[in-house]
Amino acid sequence: MLGGKVAGRVRGAGERLWAALPSTVRLPESLVLVDVGASKGLQPKWQRYRRSLIPVLFEPNPDEAAALRAALSGYAHCHVLDQGLSDRAGPHRLNIARYFGCSSMLAPNAAFLQDYAIAGLYDPVRSVEVDCCRYDTLVAEGKAPIPDVIKVDIEGFESRALAGFGDLLSNVLGVETEAWFYQAFEGQALLHDLVALLGAHGMRLRRLEQVPGFEGDLVCVNAFFTITRSRCSALSAAQRAKFELMSRVWGLSLRS
């Protein structure tokens, strides 16, 4: 476990150093990257391509949203929205966990989590009301751009946020989402549900990356989905360039 923590710190330092180096890549059209669950800011693996990105970050806490705007001041175009995303507009109750990164719109499944040493990190200490919206509504109202790539990590609520993109998912090039094999939260969707949801919009699962913390059990992963080969073959030159950049960042082989 200690070795894993040290390796993680070294890897994280390497990612930050890599992110600080500007890439020479400049796309013919900027890639719109929507990041849902962005309290830590844009992922380091994307930062070195900032010349080609329009980041769209969601952070419901106004103070944290202000900090994100300051952090993204170097981008020519960016959006930080202090709202939550869901398939249903209106107020939602966010359970603030003992460790903030375990907070969720869903209640923790104590019966499942009790087998793990990190169970206490999921204990709710308070709750707050969060104003949520659908992403397709934001686009229709001119408040957010049409997405090219989506990253979502909101502790079991991923499927509901993705459902709120509606038919926009049919034009998305890829989705990186946290996904679960077991219900760590009550009523959450699991990986196979996300496979079905994104598959209905022409996307296939390409890669899984295990999320540590469950003592060797394969409970949670980062799942990477991209468009199918047939959809890829029909891309314009500008969209193809975006797809190739996304694939490079995610460590995926290119579609032929």
Task: For residue 174, give the amino acid letter.
Answer: G
- Domains of the chain by start residue, with CATH: 28-250 (3.40.50.150)
> What does DSSP say about strands 124-133 and 149-152: parallel, antiparallel, or unpaired?
unpaired
**Per-residue confidence (pLDDT) for residue 28, from 0 to 100:** 79
Q: What is the pLDDT of residue 63?
A: 82
Block means of pLDDT (10 residues each) for the chain, length 256 residues?
A: 42 49 70 90 91 92 86 88 94 93 94 96 94 97 97 96 98 98 97 98 97 95 96 94 96 84
Cβ neighbors of 20 (< 8 A, separation 6 or more) are 47, 48
**pLDDT score of 131:** 93
